[in-house]
Amino acid sequence: MASHLVSRMASVHLPNFSEVGRKIVGAALNYKSLAKDLKVQHPQRPIIFLKATSSYIKVGQDIEISKSDIVNYEVELGVIIGKKCKKVTESNALDYIGGYCLALDMTNVSILSEARKASAPWDLGKGFDTACPVSKFIPKEDIKNPDDVKLWLKLNGDIKQNGNTNDMIFSTAHLISFVSQFMTLEPGDLLLTGSPSGVGPVRPNDVLECGLDDLVTMKFSVKPTD
């Protein structure tokens, strides 16, 4: 029954990807502008992490954070896998895309900083509940070139991020191919391609609004958990 559902969803461009996808795969430090902001060298190969699928939320739900933690926003282009993708080449990687979305990679910096110091996994800092807000599904044909779309984010009405995926260090095709060498990407899986400069913290009662070209916008409120 489950395999039949995934097959059926793939044939209609996976509009419910957050319900059928089994993985959220993220690429860290993938924008030249962000590397410049942080005064760090470009990575020699993609830095990959996973977020729990239980971290998905959709428009109408709230981002939940603790008042005592530092949590950053990161607006990103999300790539939704349309068919089984294993050890694919960069030249045909885009053929495995089923569609796109706009996403926020919410990051608990308080937890992630401690993990980095201890050379520990990033899971808790990246995969907490509500850490992956996503927009509605964007059909593949609506984005002709995923390496040339505009992204922006406003915090309480003030623009904080304003970038373009042409600033990515590793292209969309490169990321898909690279990840597929290590783990099979499946229909509905989400690949987060990184965030441009302007990353910063949110606090309870803040409102985040972001957009991707003229295709989609989304808004999320931030609520305290304590």
| Mean pLDDT value of segment 183-200 | 97
- Flag whether pLDDT at 110 surpasses 60: yes
Q: What is the mean pLDDT of residues 204-223?
A: 98
- 32-50 mean pLDDT: 94
| Rounded CA separation 113/163 (Å) | 25
pLDDT recorded at residue 15: 75
pLDDT of residue 13: 60
Region at 76 (left for phi over 0; alpha for psi -120 to 50; beta for the rest): beta
Q: What percent of the chain has pLDDT over 70?
A: 94
Task: Give the count of beta carbons closer than 10 Å to the beta carbon of residue 175.
Answer: 26
pLDDT for res 4: 41
Residue 163: pLDDT above 50? yes
Of the candidates 184, 190, 140, 187, the one whose C-alpha atom is nearest the C-alpha of residue 10 is 187
**Domains, the chain:** 15-224 (3.90.850.10)
Q: Quick one: pLDDT at residue 151?
A: 98
- pLDDT value at 90 more than 70: yes
pLDDT at residue 73 tops 50: yes
pLDDT (tens digit per residue) in 129-148: 999 999 999 999 999 999 99
189 has a pLDDT exceeding 60: yes
For 5-14, the pLDDT digits (tens) are: 344 444 446 6
Q: How far apart are the first and last CA of the chain?
A: 40
Mean pLDDT of 72-92: 97
